[in-house]
Structure 1
Amino acid sequence: MQAPFDFQTLFELSPNPYMLVDRELRYVTANAAYLRITASRLEDLVGRTIFEAFPHDPSDPANASTRMLRDSFDRVLTQRARDTLALIPYRVPRQTEGGVVVEERFWSATHTPLLDGRGEVAFILQHTVDVTELQQLKQAARDVEPPRDASVSRTQLMGGVFARAQAVQEANLALDDERRHLRRLFEQAPGFMCSLRGPDHVFELVNRAYLQLVGHRDLLGKPVRDALPEVDGQGFFELLDRVFTSGEPFVGHSMRVNLQREPGGPLVEAFVDLVYQPVVEADGSVSGIFVQGHDMTAQKRAEEELARHREHLEELVRERTRALEESESERRQTEAALLQAQKMEAVGKLTGGVAHDFNNLLQVVSGNLQLLQRDTVGDARAQRRLEMALGAVERGARLASQLLAFARRQPLAPTVLNLGRLVRDMDDLLRRALGEDVEVETVIAGGLWNTSADRNQLENVILNLAINARDAMDGRGRLTIEAGNAMLDDHYAMLHPEVTAGQYVLLAISDTGTGMTPEVMQRAFEPFFTTKPEGRGTGLGLSMVYGFVKQSGGHVKIYSELGHGTSIKIYLPRSFQAAAQPAESGPGQVEGGTETILVVEDDDAVRATVVEVLTELGYRVLKAHDGQSALAVIQSGLAVDLLFTDVVMPGPVRSPELARLAKAHLPDIEVLFTSGYTENAIVHGGRLDPGVSLLSKPYRREDLARKLRALLRGREQRLTAKPHRAPAPGDAQVKGALRILLVEDDADIRESASELMVDLGHTVRAVESAEAASEALAEEPFDLLFTDVTLPGQSGVVLAREAARRHPALRIIIASGDSRALSGEDGQALLGRVVLLPKPYDLNQMERALEQAATEATPAARTRPA
């Protein structure tokens, strides 16, 4: 129900003095009773602090009365609770008949906090009562000696009352000081503490350390099960119940507790030492529990870390002890490994030395057998014998290939591939090779990395290992092929010195066969070592696998247990490039052609066989017995479409140099190498050089025909893609004498260079600056600009760039003693257009530069005046 008047009116009409101050103790308002007893006006008080308006003793701002009043206000602000001053002397103005005087009065004051929406003190309401007359009565009672008879005056009794009131107030103040001191100790204690009341364990007090432990949340007045719900089920509530019921304290050490320190946050593990101390009343009953303890989480973590370090140190000591104990064994193993490496190196050199001649013999035999096959068409008996002979040739070729693989000297052509896709593509081939009684299971890991390896050789490795597994299982069992990602860490690399730590793609081939003994495992990769019966194996299968993996930068490991099967794990380095699509390798029809092929082969029998095969395929064939004679054929002007050369040849011109010179003279020529052993001519680091095509000996007629057609078809596509250009009027002249513009600021060099060019049959106009050269180019046509870099005005490079822009058909030679002459922006724009001639140069060097400029530049007519 609405009151008949508002509270402001009630405030003003109250006979009791009231005033209101804010948090800074500045006056907000005061009622009429307050203004009357202080002889003040409201407009003089509002906005001023109480100590500014009524300083009590201006000469001593920190006097006892001021301290009493200020302490009461501070208690209200910090504790947010009402505070009472039973008696406080304080000087204030007072209205008398003689005017306003300042006199000391005695007051009883009550300070009540007014809280805002956040629970903080916004204002303080003061209610005061002037008790000066009562205090005077008490003083009078002190001055009067107590009567000895039974009657006591009223004044004396009142004095006794006030004496007791003052004693109570002094005791309260002492207790309040003690309470504040104890509260500060409780709050600042390094260990966590709280006080729980009743059987429900209601929070009465908590200190700062406790809030830091459980997370700052509202605890006071709540039962512990409601305040800390995440602790339910961890045994702490049950311990509290037991202590409250039994009255026996509980002490716990390194107790694990999970706490949710932030609303909605994760549970955080902590470890605590704690004491649950029952609070026992005078009658022996338990009214609550005092909890005290320490957060031991950091100490626990440190102890665990120390234990881990101690265990690690002990393990290092054990490893070092084992290492010392095994040092002699390791030394013997190192010596054995060195002997094994020397033995393998010797076998590799022996293999490389005989492979070339051996494969040449096989090539002669194979080529002639294939020619005989065409001559004996219709004779079944002869064809059958020829097939058997060719089969023997292929077995011999495989044997040579396996030896080269073991010696890590086979020419690899690695491509980026996905191992899982390669294994799936081989599924049909493996099932046909292994038979129906071998169950094949493939496990391909998701997110498989790519690797770089020779696809054909890797397929041979997988097939070889699968057949070995089939034989180990006597043709019946389960073969598992796995492909996944693997990381070989530094520890593994330390135990296997030949391994480089890093990311690998793992290929694991496992069988359920008879397994290997440790002695067999130790020798499994040795060449010609086999456990198969005589006639069923060469002992080169695993050796070939070992050599291929090592040559590919990988690692291979055998895991086997007698009677439980074998697992061979191959680790190939990871590639970060995209996998290349495998080329179509269908057999197709053997095709020939009409192009001109230059055959370079030092073995007469091999050369004769190859020439006959190529002639049968329809090609026009030229032949040479070494690189020098082949180079003479190319330089003779005969049109040659493809150079087919052996890698290992006698004479001063080696096959790579022959190929380079042939490309320089005939830019569109194709080059196909063939060899039974490549040494290091076109294979480096175990891999074919980029852009190199190789046909390994011995090869079949069909292989040669397909390889030639593939190269010549690519050449035809390149020629077709080149833009057609009609012959220019000046082309014929460019092949002979040239009209040369020479730009050189040094008179001696200019004179000698002009003489050299004239001696070579050319016409020369010599100028000393770029500016003079520009004028000459505008006046008459030139075939070639020959300029120095450093000129008195504009540089030779800038001149060349401008001349190339104005005269597209102009050949350009830049002579400089600095190999970085074309490193700038202008020089970069001329790359591919100019020939750089290093200084100092002689007649031969100048002649080659002029020939190169005339050959490599795009032929065009002489330049005309712009």
Structure 2
Amino acid sequence: MAEPEIRAISQQSLDEIFALLDDANIVVHNVEGQISRWSRGCERLYGWTAEDVIGRNVHEVLQSEFPQPLDEVMASLRQNGTWKGEITQRHRDGRVIYVVSRWVAVHDGGPDDLIVLTKSTDVSSLRYAQDDLAIRQSHLLSILDTVPEAMVVINEAGTIVSFSKAAEKLFGYESTKICGRNVRLLMPPPHRDRHDRYIRRYLATGERHIIGFGRVVTGLRKDGSTFPMELAIGEAVANGSHIFTGFVRDLTSRHRMEEELRQAQKMEAVGQLTGGIAHDFNNLLTVIVGNLEMIERDLTDERLLSLVRDAQGAADDGAKLTGQLLAFGRRQALHARPANIGELVTSFADLLRRAIGEAIQLDTSVSESALMATVDATQLQNALLNLALNARHAMPRGGRLNIDISRVYLDADYARMYPQVRLGHYILISVSDTGTGMSEEARLRAFEPFFTTKEAGVGTGLGLSMVYGFARQSGGHVQLYSELGHGTTVRLFLPAIDACRLDGNEGSSAAVVPGPPGRERILVVEDDARVRKVVVARLEAEGYVVIQAANGADALAAISAHPEIRLLFTDIVMPGGMFGDELARAARMFRPDLRVLFTSGYAEPRLAGRELAEGSLLKKPYTAQELIRRIRRLLDNLD
């Protein structure tokens, strides 16, 4: 390649150029960098006067930093006759100056007298602005990568120009693959088909439907699934073009929490209702059972006796039914003690195998040895039996039932999902079957009393309700997972306690034989006249002297008038402003030796906020034998 011809220039021409362009930033130096001319523009730009720099090396004076080695710059200049590049230099006071410099090589007199004519343009402000923009852009990208809410930026054509990390995670698209595509991709029909029309109408009319307001809409993920989201849109105008920024918050967890809270509130309301119904029904059963017992005593006709016994059996079934209602309403009386849950469940295994039949395989797994919780063993057994029977119904052709016991910790995230749950360690009993599963509608209603997916006449619909009430009353939690065709899993959480050695004799006691019928005086306090009448008749039939009262005030008056009263038999919840426990405390202020037996149709004093510090509890309905036995034990100081 032929070298370019380097033009010659006279000193007079240089003088004319400098005279004409003295206000520009022009320097003349030789190939070694020795300065021969220095314009007034350079004096203003660099702070050096011509007298200061003439004869000195320009690169040393200005501390020039080139984008490539200086030798390569000079070689390019000799080869091409010109060179252009950005150079970093220093002002006289030390501050950095960025210039775009153009060098032209000319001959001064002869071909060997090469000089360099340099014209520089100060671009420091632009460079600082670019650096500031880069910092701001880096800051913005950092925010976009860390902000928990997804952010999507589109232009007025609906094309995505920015897609945050949170948006990538939420929608399932990579930013590099979705930027440049229309935002309709993130919307399910029918909004997908209408979106561009919305934007065009807004740009034409300024009519706002969502911009600046926000609303709850449905988003579409890459995998085709949809989810509820809160969308807030902001608008900016730059160079006459509109930019729209959408902030997206996934509402899936919030909706699930709200649904769980509504379900918990509904179950609480239904529990209160069923508990109250069971209480009143127990009072009716007490009257029915008592009268049937008294009729039975006087009958000799076997046909009539058979009818009475049938009625008594029906009354017993009614009592069991109210017991299940009380369990759902968390009103049953629990006899909870520390127990090893793994050992308890293992000991139930034979019973469960008999209940589910040979066509279903039962597998029990215990993760560790010391899985301790405070629990009513009988109620736990009933709960597992109910779950096993439900599983059997879901596997008519056989299958597998797995019971897994382990220790888990329910953290704050879990508690936010299920507002009724407390943080802490729990013993988890997971009961899973391979049955037909439930529909979503059935799953949501599964714990409601009397709801059942079984055919008419099969089951009462109270099995899962009892499990729910038992778990909640035990301080725990229950969950149900099910899909049609994929089986069902019920997870029962019981609050864990520190491992301790169980006393093998705890709860065992010698059988107590009631003493002979007595002649002691007993005060019966009951607001239901029919129940009171039956109780009095039973006690008088056994030879006791009975005094009656319908409320707490009358009872206190009777105790004051009859110091010979040995035992107080009182309902807990009564009208008149005085509950049974308050009556007992007031009576013992002047009769410390008075024996007390409480009764309640709720079977759980905590329903009315009552804590029975002293006294025994007899659940309604009760038989005459149970009543007499409990009274005799108290009078004989056996309780």
In the superposition, the TM-score normalised over structure 2's length comes to 0.55
Q: Is the 8 A contact 1:412 1:686 kept in 2?
A: no
Matches within 5 A, 1:500-511: 500-511=422-433
Name the SS of the counterpart of 2:438 in structure 1.
coil
Alignment CA distance shift 1:483-1:688 (3 Å):
farther
Determine the C-alpha separation between the residues in 2 that align with 1:672 and 1:684.
18
Instruction: Report whether the alignment pairs 1:651 with 2:573.
Output: no
2:507 and 2:260 map into 1 onto residues whose CA distance is 40
Decide whether the 8 Å contact of 1:410 with 1:686 is kept in 2: no
TM-superposition CA deviations, 1:41-71 (whole Å, max 9, x none): xxxxxxxxxxxxxxxxxxxxxxxxxxxxxxx
Deviations 1:351-408 (A, max 9, x none): 344333322111100112223333336x543343333322322332333333333333
Of 671, 696, 715 in structure 1, the residue corresponding to residue 619 of structure 2 is 696
CA distance in 2, matches of 1:315, 1:590: 76
Separation (CA, whole Å) in 2 of partners of 1:668 and 1:509 = 50
**Residue of structure 2 equivalent to 1:601:** 526
Displacement of 1:559 in angstroms is 2.9
Question: Matched residue of 1:571: which SS?
Answer: strand
**Aligned-partner SS, 1:474:** coil
1:626 pairs with 2:551: yes
Is 2:404 the counterpart of 1:482? yes
Q: Which of residues 340, 348, 360 in structure 1 aligns to 2:283?
A: 360
Counterparts of 1:452 and 1:546, CA distance in 2: 17
1:524 paired residue among 437, 446, 458: 446
Matching residue's letter, 1:693:
S
Q: By how many angstroms is 1:577 displaced?
A: 7.4
Q: Distance in 1 between matches of 2:307 and 2:507?
A: 34
CA shift at 1:605, angstroms?
A: 1.7
Query: Displacement, 1:664?
Result: 2.2
Alignment match, 1:402? 324
Partner of 1:562: 484
Structure 2 partner of 1:376: 299
- Deviations 1:220-263 (Å, cap 9, x if unpaired)? xxxxxxxxxxxxxxxxxxxxxxxxxxxxxxxxxxxxxxxxxxxx
Change (3 A) 1:497 1:606: closer
Aligned match for 1:497, one of 413, 416, 419: 419
The residue identity in structure 1 corresponding to 2:586 is L
For the residue of structure 2 that corresponds to 1:491, the secondary structure is: helix
Change (3 A) 1:617 1:684: same
Please give the per-residue CA displacement for 1:567-586, whole angstroms capped at 9, x wherever unaligned: 21100111237556553499
Q: Does the 8 Å contact 1:435/1:475 carry over to 2?
A: no
Mapped to 1, the partners of 2:607 and 2:273 lie a distance apart of: 19
Q: Which residue of 1 aligns with 2:493?
A: 571
Partner of 1:638: 563
Residues 284-433 of structure 1 aligned to structure 2 (within 5 Å): 327-328=250-251, 333=256, 336-337=259-260, 339-376=262-299, 379-427=301-349, 429-433=351-355
Question: What residue number does 2:113 align with?
Answer: none
State the partner residue of 1:143: none
1:713-724 correspondence runs (5 A): 713=636, 715=637
- Asked if 2 retains the 8 angstrom alpha-carbon contact of 1:513 and 1:565, the reply is yes
**Structure number with larger C-alpha Rg:** 1
Q: Secondary structure of the equivalent of 1:483?
A: strand
Counterpart of 1:449 in structure 2 is 371
What is the percent sequence identity of the aligned residues?
A: 48
- Uncovered stretches (5+) of structure 2, i.e. residues with no partner: 1-144, 149-163, 172-226, 231-247
* Corresponding residue number in structure 2 for 1:671: 596
Query: What is the TM-score normalised by the length of structure 1?
Result: 0.42
| Whole-angstrom distance in 2 between the partners of 1:551 and 1:673 | 21
Tell me, in whole angstroms, the C-alpha distance in 1 between the residues paired with 2:170 and 2:368: 40
Distance 2:609 2:390 in 1: 26
Matched AA of 1:367: G
Tell me how many residue pairs correspond in the alignment. Answer: 404
Whether contact under 8 Å (1:355, 1:676) holds in the other structure is yes
Find the counterpart in structure 1 of residue 507 from structure 2: 583
Shift of 1:412: 4.0
SS at match of 2:485: coil
In structure 2, relative to structure 1, the CA distance for the partners of 1:346 and 1:639 (3 Å cut) is same
Secondary structure of the structure 2 residue equivalent to 1:394: helix
Q: Does 1:542 align with 2:464?
A: yes
Computed over aligned residues only, the root mean square deviation of the Cα atoms, in angstroms, reads: 3.7
Distance across 1 between alignment mates of 2:431 and 2:330: 22
Q: How does 1:693-772 map to 2 (within 5 A)?
A: 693-713=616-636, 715=637
CA distance in 2, matches of 1:651, 1:541: 37
Rate the CA distance shift 1:481–1:371 in 2: closer, same or farther, 3 A: farther
Aligned pairs for 1:253-264 (under 5 A) are none
Deviation digits for residues 80-112 of structure 1 (CA, Å, limit 9, x no counterpart): xxxxxxxxxxxxxxxxxxxxxxxxxxxxxxxxx
Q: Contact 2:552–2:578 at 8 Å: present in 1 too?
A: yes
Q: Which moved more, 1:427-436 or 1:517-526?
A: 427-436
Contact kept, 8 Å, 1:631 with 1:662, in 2: the verdict is: yes
Residue among 466, 473, 477 paired with 1:551: 473
Return the structure number with greater relative CO, CA threshold 8 A, min gap 6: 2
AA partner of residue 359 (structure 1)? N
Out of 639-648 and 581-590, give the one that drifted further: 581-590
For structure 1, the 5+ residue unaligned runs are 1-309, 718-866
Task: Provide the rounded CA distance (Å) in 1 between the counterparts of 2:283 and 2:433.
Answer: 39
Q: Which amino acid aligns with 2:297?
A: R
Instruction: Render the CA deviation track for 1:1-60: whole Å, top value 9, x for unaligned.
Output: xxxxxxxxxxxxxxxxxxxxxxxxxxxxxxxxxxxxxxxxxxxxxxxxxxxxxxxxxxxx
Cα distance in 1 for residues equivalent to 2:628 and 2:387: 32
- Per-residue CA deviation, residues 570-622 of structure 1 (Å, 9 max, x unaligned), is 00111237556553499987766424432111222211211222334454433
Partner Cα distance (2:447, 2:168) in 1:
32
| Matched-pair contact (CA < 8 Å) for 2:514–2:632 | no
Following the alignment from structure 1 to structure 2, what is the Cα–Cα distance between the partners of residues 665 and 362? 35
Note the C-alpha offset of 1:443.
3.2
Q: 1:460 to 1:662 in 2, by over 3 A?
A: farther
Q: 1:330 to 1:503 in 2, by over 3 A?
A: closer
The 2-side partners of 1:423 and 1:331 are apart by: 36
**Separation of aligned partners in 2, 1:423 and 1:478:** 17
Residue 192 of structure 2 corresponds to none
Verify: 1:514 aligned to 2:439, yes or no: no
Q: Match of 1:296?
A: none
Which residue does the alignment assign to 1:610? 535
| More displaced 10-residue stretch of structure 1: 634-643 or 345-354 | 345-354
Deviations 1:598-648 (A, max 9, x none): 211122221121122233445443332222222122223433332211112
User: Deviations along 1:778-824, whole A, 9 cap, x unmatched?
Assistant: xxxxxxxxxxxxxxxxxxxxxxxxxxxxxxxxxxxxxxxxxxxxxxx
- Alignment check: 8 A CA contact 1:613 1:701 kept: yes
Q: Does the CA contact (< 8 Å) of 1:591 and 1:705 recur in 2?
A: no
